[in-house]
Amino acid sequence: MKVAIFAAEIPAPTFIENLIETLAEAGHQIYLFGYERKKKDYPAANIHVYPTPTKLYSVIPFVLKQSLLMLFSNPALWWKTVKLCFRKNEWKLAILKLSLYLPILRHQVDKFHFQWASHPPFYSELMELLTCPIYLSLRGAHINYAPLVREGLAESYQEIFPKMTGFHAVSNAIGKEAEKYGAVPQKIHTIYSAISPGVINTYKAPKEYIGGQLRLTSIGRFHWKKGYNYAIQSLHLLRKSGVDAQYTLVAQGGLPEELRYQIRQLGLENHVKIINGLLHHLVLEKVQESHVLLLPSVEEGVANVVLEAMAVGTIVVSTDCGGMAEVIENGRSGFMVPMRKPQAMADAVINYTKLTQVQRTEMAEAAYQRILKHHTRETMLNGFEALYAE
Protein backbone atom coordinates (compact mmCIF):
# COMPACT_ATOMS: atom_id res chain seq x y z
CA MET A 1 0.00 0.00 0.00
CA LYS A 2 1.26 3.48 -0.90
CA VAL A 3 0.48 5.90 1.92
CA ALA A 4 1.16 9.65 1.73
CA ILE A 5 1.81 11.33 5.08
CA PHE A 6 1.40 15.11 5.16
CA ALA A 7 2.69 16.44 8.48
CA ALA A 8 3.68 19.96 7.28
CA GLU A 9 7.14 19.59 8.83
CA ILE A 10 9.88 17.09 8.00
CA PRO A 11 10.93 15.57 10.33
CA ALA A 12 7.60 15.41 12.13
CA PRO A 13 6.98 15.24 15.90
CA THR A 14 7.93 11.97 17.62
CA PHE A 15 4.46 10.43 17.58
CA ILE A 16 4.12 10.96 13.81
CA GLU A 17 7.65 9.67 13.18
CA ASN A 18 6.58 6.56 15.11
CA LEU A 19 3.67 6.12 12.70
CA ILE A 20 5.95 6.55 9.67
CA GLU A 21 8.45 3.99 10.92
CA THR A 22 5.74 1.52 11.96
CA LEU A 23 3.99 1.58 8.57
CA ALA A 24 7.33 1.28 6.79
CA GLU A 25 8.41 -1.69 8.94
CA ALA A 26 5.15 -3.41 7.94
CA GLY A 27 6.19 -3.15 4.29
CA HIS A 28 4.05 -0.22 3.15
CA GLN A 29 5.47 2.41 0.81
CA ILE A 30 5.50 5.73 2.68
CA TYR A 31 5.63 9.11 0.94
CA LEU A 32 6.41 12.11 3.15
CA PHE A 33 5.40 15.60 2.09
CA GLY A 34 5.86 18.94 3.82
CA TYR A 35 8.43 21.62 4.58
CA GLU A 36 11.92 20.41 5.41
CA ARG A 37 12.91 22.06 8.70
CA LYS A 38 16.12 20.07 9.05
CA LYS A 39 17.81 17.14 7.39
CA LYS A 40 16.86 13.64 8.46
CA ASP A 41 18.00 10.43 6.83
CA TYR A 42 15.44 7.63 6.75
CA PRO A 43 17.36 4.36 6.31
CA ALA A 44 14.30 2.38 5.15
CA ALA A 45 14.21 2.14 1.36
CA ASN A 46 10.40 2.31 1.38
CA ILE A 47 10.28 5.77 3.00
CA HIS A 48 10.32 8.39 0.23
CA VAL A 49 10.80 12.03 1.21
CA TYR A 50 9.66 14.91 -1.01
CA PRO A 51 10.35 18.15 0.88
CA THR A 52 9.18 21.59 -0.21
CA PRO A 53 11.66 24.47 0.30
CA THR A 54 10.87 27.01 3.01
CA LYS A 55 12.59 30.05 1.47
CA LEU A 56 10.51 32.08 -0.99
CA TYR A 57 13.44 32.58 -3.39
CA SER A 58 13.77 28.79 -3.66
CA VAL A 59 10.07 28.16 -4.22
CA ILE A 60 9.74 29.54 -7.76
CA PRO A 61 12.54 27.41 -9.29
CA PHE A 62 11.18 24.45 -7.32
CA VAL A 63 7.69 24.98 -8.80
CA LEU A 64 9.17 25.32 -12.31
CA LYS A 65 11.04 22.03 -11.92
CA GLN A 66 8.00 20.21 -10.54
CA SER A 67 5.86 21.65 -13.35
CA LEU A 68 8.23 20.36 -16.03
CA LEU A 69 8.24 16.90 -14.48
CA MET A 70 4.46 16.84 -14.27
CA LEU A 71 3.97 18.18 -17.79
CA PHE A 72 5.69 15.08 -19.14
CA SER A 73 3.72 12.63 -16.97
CA ASN A 74 0.26 14.22 -16.68
CA PRO A 75 -0.19 17.55 -18.53
CA ALA A 76 -3.98 17.59 -18.03
CA LEU A 77 -3.64 17.34 -14.24
CA TRP A 78 -0.92 20.02 -14.25
CA TRP A 79 -3.15 22.44 -16.15
CA LYS A 80 -6.13 21.71 -13.87
CA THR A 81 -3.95 22.28 -10.78
CA VAL A 82 -2.55 25.59 -12.04
CA LYS A 83 -5.98 26.90 -13.03
CA LEU A 84 -7.49 25.94 -9.70
CA CYS A 85 -4.70 27.54 -7.64
CA PHE A 86 -4.63 30.83 -9.57
CA ARG A 87 -8.41 31.08 -9.74
CA LYS A 88 -8.83 30.88 -5.97
CA ASN A 89 -5.70 32.67 -4.70
CA GLU A 90 -3.56 35.73 -5.29
CA TRP A 91 -0.35 34.86 -7.12
CA LYS A 92 2.03 34.52 -4.13
CA LEU A 93 -0.32 32.16 -2.31
CA ALA A 94 -0.97 30.28 -5.55
CA ILE A 95 2.78 29.70 -6.02
CA LEU A 96 3.16 28.53 -2.42
CA LYS A 97 0.29 26.09 -2.83
CA LEU A 98 1.71 24.77 -6.10
CA SER A 99 5.03 24.10 -4.33
CA LEU A 100 3.16 21.73 -1.99
CA TYR A 101 0.57 20.31 -4.38
CA LEU A 102 2.75 19.40 -7.37
CA PRO A 103 5.08 16.91 -5.60
CA ILE A 104 2.01 15.25 -4.05
CA LEU A 105 0.04 15.00 -7.30
CA ARG A 106 3.05 13.69 -9.23
CA HIS A 107 3.01 10.54 -7.11
CA GLN A 108 -0.09 8.41 -7.33
CA VAL A 109 -0.73 7.02 -3.84
CA ASP A 110 -3.41 4.70 -2.45
CA LYS A 111 -4.13 6.74 0.70
CA PHE A 112 -3.52 10.37 1.62
CA HIS A 113 -3.28 11.18 5.33
CA PHE A 114 -3.37 14.72 6.79
CA GLN A 115 -1.79 14.68 10.26
CA TRP A 116 -3.27 17.95 11.55
CA ALA A 117 -6.90 19.05 11.39
CA SER A 118 -6.09 22.68 10.61
CA HIS A 119 -4.33 21.77 7.33
CA PRO A 120 -7.16 20.54 5.05
CA PRO A 121 -9.03 23.89 5.03
CA PHE A 122 -5.85 25.56 3.73
CA TYR A 123 -5.40 22.85 1.10
CA SER A 124 -9.00 22.72 -0.08
CA GLU A 125 -7.93 22.70 -3.75
CA LEU A 126 -5.71 19.68 -3.10
CA MET A 127 -8.73 17.78 -1.80
CA GLU A 128 -10.49 18.49 -5.10
CA LEU A 129 -7.49 17.22 -7.07
CA LEU A 130 -6.76 14.02 -5.14
CA THR A 131 -8.55 10.91 -6.39
CA CYS A 132 -7.55 8.56 -3.55
CA PRO A 133 -9.21 8.18 -0.11
CA ILE A 134 -8.29 11.01 2.28
CA TYR A 135 -7.82 10.59 6.03
CA LEU A 136 -7.38 13.07 8.85
CA SER A 137 -5.83 12.73 12.31
CA LEU A 138 -7.71 14.43 15.15
CA ARG A 139 -5.32 15.71 17.81
CA GLY A 140 -5.81 17.84 20.93
CA ALA A 141 -5.37 21.56 20.27
CA HIS A 142 -6.64 21.51 16.69
CA ILE A 143 -10.01 20.17 17.86
CA ASN A 144 -10.35 21.26 21.48
CA TYR A 145 -9.72 24.99 21.20
CA ALA A 146 -8.37 26.10 17.79
CA PRO A 147 -11.86 26.24 16.18
CA LEU A 148 -13.03 28.37 19.12
CA VAL A 149 -10.29 31.00 18.82
CA ARG A 150 -9.33 31.02 15.11
CA GLU A 151 -11.83 32.93 13.04
CA GLY A 152 -13.47 30.87 10.33
CA LEU A 153 -11.84 27.56 11.31
CA ALA A 154 -15.02 25.99 12.74
CA GLU A 155 -16.88 26.83 9.51
CA SER A 156 -14.03 25.32 7.46
CA TYR A 157 -14.19 22.14 9.52
CA GLN A 158 -17.93 21.88 8.94
CA GLU A 159 -17.30 22.11 5.21
CA ILE A 160 -14.28 19.78 5.05
CA PHE A 161 -14.96 17.07 7.65
CA PRO A 162 -17.95 15.46 5.89
CA LYS A 163 -15.75 14.95 2.80
CA MET A 164 -13.16 12.85 4.62
CA THR A 165 -12.93 9.11 3.99
CA GLY A 166 -12.00 8.44 7.61
CA PHE A 167 -10.59 9.89 10.81
CA HIS A 168 -7.90 8.83 13.26
CA ALA A 169 -8.66 10.14 16.76
CA VAL A 170 -5.93 10.07 19.42
CA SER A 171 -8.63 9.51 22.07
CA ASN A 172 -12.36 8.84 22.31
CA ALA A 173 -12.80 12.32 23.82
CA ILE A 174 -11.23 14.00 20.76
CA GLY A 175 -13.43 11.98 18.44
CA LYS A 176 -16.53 13.19 20.28
CA GLU A 177 -15.38 16.80 19.97
CA ALA A 178 -14.84 16.39 16.21
CA GLU A 179 -18.43 15.26 15.76
CA LYS A 180 -19.49 18.84 16.61
CA TYR A 181 -17.85 19.97 13.36
CA GLY A 182 -19.36 17.37 11.06
CA ALA A 183 -17.07 14.35 11.51
CA VAL A 184 -19.21 11.27 10.87
CA PRO A 185 -19.05 9.05 14.00
CA GLN A 186 -18.91 5.81 11.99
CA LYS A 187 -15.78 7.08 10.21
CA ILE A 188 -13.84 7.84 13.42
CA HIS A 189 -11.30 5.26 14.63
CA THR A 190 -9.64 5.81 18.00
CA ILE A 191 -6.02 4.70 17.63
CA TYR A 192 -3.76 5.45 20.57
CA SER A 193 -0.21 6.66 19.99
CA ALA A 194 2.56 4.09 20.16
CA ILE A 195 5.72 4.24 22.21
CA SER A 196 8.83 3.06 20.41
CA PRO A 197 10.38 -0.26 21.51
CA GLY A 198 13.57 1.59 22.41
CA VAL A 199 11.66 3.54 25.07
CA ILE A 200 9.56 0.61 26.32
CA ASN A 201 12.70 -1.45 26.82
CA THR A 202 14.15 1.10 29.28
CA TYR A 203 11.50 0.42 31.94
CA LYS A 204 12.82 0.42 35.52
CA ALA A 205 11.15 0.26 38.90
CA PRO A 206 10.12 3.75 40.04
CA LYS A 207 12.63 5.99 41.78
CA GLU A 208 12.77 5.18 45.47
CA TYR A 209 11.49 7.86 47.85
CA ILE A 210 12.04 7.55 51.59
CA GLY A 211 11.74 11.21 52.48
CA GLY A 212 14.03 14.13 51.76
CA GLN A 213 13.98 15.97 48.46
CA LEU A 214 11.11 15.07 46.14
CA ARG A 215 11.85 15.59 42.43
CA LEU A 216 8.92 16.71 40.26
CA THR A 217 9.23 17.25 36.51
CA SER A 218 7.09 18.61 33.67
CA ILE A 219 7.93 18.42 29.98
CA GLY A 220 6.47 20.48 27.13
CA ARG A 221 6.50 23.81 25.32
CA PHE A 222 5.64 27.08 27.00
CA HIS A 223 1.95 27.55 26.20
CA TRP A 224 -1.06 28.55 28.27
CA LYS A 225 -2.71 25.16 27.73
CA LYS A 226 0.14 23.40 29.56
CA GLY A 227 -1.01 24.89 32.88
CA TYR A 228 2.46 25.42 34.35
CA ASN A 229 1.13 28.22 36.55
CA TYR A 230 -1.01 25.62 38.36
CA ALA A 231 2.00 23.34 38.83
CA ILE A 232 4.02 26.21 40.32
CA GLN A 233 1.16 27.06 42.69
CA SER A 234 0.98 23.38 43.62
CA LEU A 235 4.72 23.39 44.39
CA HIS A 236 4.16 26.37 46.70
CA LEU A 237 1.42 24.48 48.54
CA LEU A 238 3.61 21.38 48.87
CA ARG A 239 6.46 23.32 50.38
CA LYS A 240 4.07 25.09 52.77
CA SER A 241 2.88 21.66 53.91
CA GLY A 242 6.45 20.61 54.71
CA VAL A 243 7.32 18.58 51.57
CA ASP A 244 10.81 19.41 50.28
CA ALA A 245 9.68 19.42 46.64
CA GLN A 246 11.86 20.61 43.76
CA TYR A 247 10.32 21.26 40.34
CA THR A 248 12.14 20.92 37.00
CA LEU A 249 10.43 22.31 33.91
CA VAL A 250 11.86 21.27 30.54
CA ALA A 251 10.33 23.49 27.87
CA GLN A 252 11.43 25.10 24.63
CA GLY A 253 11.46 28.87 24.29
CA GLY A 254 11.84 31.67 26.78
CA LEU A 255 10.22 31.56 30.21
CA PRO A 256 7.01 33.64 29.97
CA GLU A 257 6.95 36.80 32.03
CA GLU A 258 3.93 35.74 34.09
CA LEU A 259 5.64 32.49 35.18
CA ARG A 260 8.83 34.33 36.05
CA TYR A 261 6.82 36.76 38.16
CA GLN A 262 4.86 33.94 39.84
CA ILE A 263 8.03 32.04 40.78
CA ARG A 264 9.56 35.16 42.33
CA GLN A 265 6.36 36.25 44.07
CA LEU A 266 6.03 32.82 45.74
CA GLY A 267 9.70 32.75 46.71
CA LEU A 268 10.43 29.64 44.64
CA GLU A 269 13.55 30.83 42.80
CA ASN A 270 15.69 28.14 44.47
CA HIS A 271 13.12 25.40 44.00
CA VAL A 272 12.19 25.71 40.30
CA LYS A 273 14.71 24.79 37.60
CA ILE A 274 13.99 25.78 33.99
CA ILE A 275 15.74 23.80 31.23
CA ASN A 276 15.33 25.27 27.75
CA GLY A 277 14.75 22.10 25.74
CA LEU A 278 16.65 18.80 25.61
CA LEU A 279 17.26 16.06 23.07
CA HIS A 280 14.68 13.30 23.31
CA HIS A 281 16.91 10.72 24.99
CA LEU A 282 17.96 13.29 27.59
CA VAL A 283 14.31 14.14 28.24
CA LEU A 284 13.66 10.47 28.97
CA GLU A 285 16.62 10.36 31.34
CA LYS A 286 15.27 13.41 33.16
CA VAL A 287 11.83 11.79 33.46
CA GLN A 288 13.30 8.54 34.77
CA GLU A 289 15.39 10.41 37.36
CA SER A 290 12.21 12.06 38.73
CA HIS A 291 9.93 10.73 41.42
CA VAL A 292 6.80 12.18 39.75
CA LEU A 293 5.94 13.52 36.31
CA LEU A 294 3.40 16.33 36.57
CA LEU A 295 0.97 17.05 33.73
CA PRO A 296 -0.92 20.20 34.83
CA SER A 297 -2.48 20.82 31.39
CA VAL A 298 -5.93 22.27 30.72
CA GLU A 299 -5.98 20.79 27.20
CA GLU A 300 -4.43 17.67 25.66
CA GLY A 301 -5.36 14.87 23.31
CA VAL A 302 -3.29 12.21 24.99
CA ALA A 303 0.04 13.62 26.18
CA ASN A 304 2.90 11.64 24.67
CA VAL A 305 5.20 12.53 27.56
CA VAL A 306 2.79 10.81 29.97
CA LEU A 307 2.86 7.64 27.87
CA GLU A 308 6.66 7.73 27.85
CA ALA A 309 6.80 8.27 31.62
CA MET A 310 4.52 5.25 32.10
CA ALA A 311 6.76 3.26 29.75
CA VAL A 312 9.96 4.03 31.67
CA GLY A 313 8.55 3.52 35.18
CA THR A 314 7.87 7.04 36.48
CA ILE A 315 4.67 7.75 38.44
CA VAL A 316 2.37 10.34 36.79
CA VAL A 317 0.11 12.96 38.36
CA SER A 318 -2.13 14.30 35.57
CA THR A 319 -5.13 16.55 35.19
CA ASP A 320 -8.25 14.99 33.71
CA CYS A 321 -8.02 17.04 30.48
CA GLY A 322 -8.81 15.64 27.04
CA GLY A 323 -8.28 11.91 26.78
CA MET A 324 -6.03 11.50 29.81
CA ALA A 325 -8.73 9.64 31.76
CA GLU A 326 -8.54 6.97 29.03
CA VAL A 327 -4.87 6.40 29.91
CA ILE A 328 -4.62 6.71 33.71
CA GLU A 329 -6.79 4.87 36.20
CA ASN A 330 -6.72 7.06 39.29
CA GLY A 331 -4.99 5.40 42.23
CA ARG A 332 -4.01 2.32 40.23
CA SER A 333 -1.78 3.36 37.32
CA GLY A 334 -1.18 6.96 38.41
CA PHE A 335 -3.05 9.91 39.89
CA MET A 336 -5.79 11.92 38.17
CA VAL A 337 -6.83 15.35 39.45
CA PRO A 338 -9.26 18.05 38.26
CA MET A 339 -7.97 20.78 35.99
CA ARG A 340 -6.99 24.16 37.46
CA LYS A 341 -6.91 22.77 41.01
CA PRO A 342 -3.39 23.26 42.46
CA GLN A 343 -4.47 21.97 45.87
CA ALA A 344 -5.77 18.73 44.33
CA MET A 345 -2.45 18.28 42.52
CA ALA A 346 -0.52 18.93 45.74
CA ASP A 347 -2.73 16.44 47.59
CA ALA A 348 -2.05 13.78 44.92
CA VAL A 349 1.70 14.30 45.30
CA ILE A 350 1.36 14.02 49.08
CA ASN A 351 -0.56 10.77 48.57
CA TYR A 352 2.36 9.56 46.46
CA THR A 353 4.76 10.26 49.36
CA LYS A 354 2.60 8.16 51.69
CA LEU A 355 2.81 5.05 49.49
CA THR A 356 5.27 2.32 50.31
CA GLN A 357 7.88 1.52 47.69
CA VAL A 358 6.06 -1.74 47.02
CA GLN A 359 2.85 0.19 46.30
CA ARG A 360 4.70 2.58 43.98
CA THR A 361 6.20 -0.35 42.12
CA GLU A 362 2.74 -1.91 41.74
CA MET A 363 1.40 1.41 40.38
CA ALA A 364 4.28 1.75 37.92
CA GLU A 365 3.81 -1.85 36.79
CA ALA A 366 0.08 -1.26 36.18
CA ALA A 367 0.96 1.79 34.08
CA TYR A 368 3.57 -0.20 32.15
CA GLN A 369 1.07 -2.99 31.41
CA ARG A 370 -1.31 -0.34 30.02
CA ILE A 371 1.47 0.73 27.61
CA LEU A 372 2.12 -2.87 26.55
CA LYS A 373 -1.58 -3.47 25.91
CA HIS A 374 -2.62 -0.25 24.12
CA HIS A 375 0.45 1.74 23.06
CA THR A 376 2.80 -0.56 21.14
CA ARG A 377 3.62 -0.25 17.48
CA GLU A 378 1.77 -3.51 16.84
CA THR A 379 -1.52 -2.21 18.24
CA MET A 380 -1.10 1.09 16.40
CA LEU A 381 -0.34 -0.69 13.11
CA ASN A 382 -3.44 -2.87 13.47
CA GLY A 383 -5.51 0.27 14.06
CA PHE A 384 -4.23 2.15 11.02
CA GLU A 385 -4.48 -0.83 8.71
CA ALA A 386 -8.11 -1.28 9.80
CA LEU A 387 -8.76 2.43 9.21
CA TYR A 388 -7.23 2.35 5.71
CA ALA A 389 -9.03 -0.92 4.88
CA GLU A 390 -12.40 0.74 5.45
pLDDT of residue 56: 78
| Residues of the chain above pLDDT 70, percent | 100
pLDDT of residue 89: 84
Residue 78 has pLDDT above 90, yes or no: yes
Residue 277 has pLDDT above 90, yes or no: no
What are the extents of the domains in the chain?
2-194+376-389, 197-373
Selected residue with higher pLDDT from 31 and 122: 31
pLDDT, averaged across the chain: 95
Average pLDDT rounded to a whole number, residues 268-274:
97
pLDDT of residue 17: 93
HEC letters along the chain: CEEEEEEEEECCCHHHHHHHHHHHHCCCEEEEEEEECCCCCCCCCCEEEEEECCCHHHHHHHHHHHHHHHHHHCHHHHHHHHHHHHHHCCHHHHHHHHHHHHHHHHCCCCEEEECCCCHHHHCHHHHHHCCCCEEEEECHHHHHCHHHHCCCHHHHHHHHHHHCCEEEECCHHHHHHHHCCCCCHHHEEECCCCCCHHHHCCCCCCCCCCCCCEEEEEECCCCHHHCHHHHHHHHHHHHHCCCCEEEEEECCCCCCHHHHHHHHHCCCCCCEEEECCCCHHHHHHHHHHCCEEEECCCCCCCCHHHHHHHHHCCEEEEECCCCHHHCCCECCCEEEECCCCHHHHHHHHHHHHHCCHHHHHHHHHHHHHHHHHHCCHHHHHHHHHHHHHC
Confidence of residue 54 (pLDDT cuts 50, 70, 90): confident
Confidence of residue 253 (pLDDT cuts 50, 70, 90): confident
Residue 379 has pLDDT above 90, yes or no: yes
pTM for the whole structure:
0.91
pLDDT of residue 252: 85
pLDDT of residue 390: 85
Confidence of residue 232 (pLDDT cuts 50, 70, 90): very high
Separation of CA 214 from chain center = 29
Longest dimension (CA), the chain: 74
Topology match between the domains 2-194+376-389 and 197-373: yes
pLDDT of residue 263: 98
pLDDT of residue 121: 85
Spelled out in words, what is the top-level CATH class assigned to the domain 2-194+376-389?
alpha beta
pLDDT of residue 30: 98
What's domain 197-373's architecture?
Answer: 3-Layer(aba) Sandwich (3.40)
| Residues of the chain above pLDDT 90, percent | 86
